Structure 1
């Protein structure tokens, strides 16, 4: 009987940190984002969301990935010169300078 008790105790101690926070999350699953949307990939049916029609500036990760994908698809031979509108977008980690030449 003792080994079975030890196994159950071990599993409770190992799994408790994962189960207890999930129980405390509440109806939104602990999501604290200002706006979000979850869409089913095949039918584009909206599964859940919060204030997803609200206009918000893109996250820094989105801006960085968009720039990297655009430069990658240009093939390495193109010269890209950002205009002054680049400075209107909140800063990201790319640190693009208007008028400076960048090779893709």
Structure 2
């Protein structure tokens, strides 16, 4: 499972139109991550603990991959938490309808 995620991500980023610059790549990446988050929230509706456990497993895989790729610069645990778990650890509430 480790290699599949990283190679797919690299392929998608390389396929973007780089002539428009990095802002285009960042916006496309952000849109994909938001769509993926929404899909995960739907798939794990009512099971926030299950979602966090799934994401924690992915975070550990990413940590191992990053340490293998960059042994001199291991990833910061706080950064991994921010990228993988912070968004899912808080319940998403609909804004009040005033």
TM-score by length of 1: 0.24
Q: Relative contact order (alpha carbons < 8 A, sep ≥ 6): 1 or 2 greater?
A: 2
Between structure 1 and structure 2, the one with the greater Rg is 1
TM-score by length of 2: 0.26
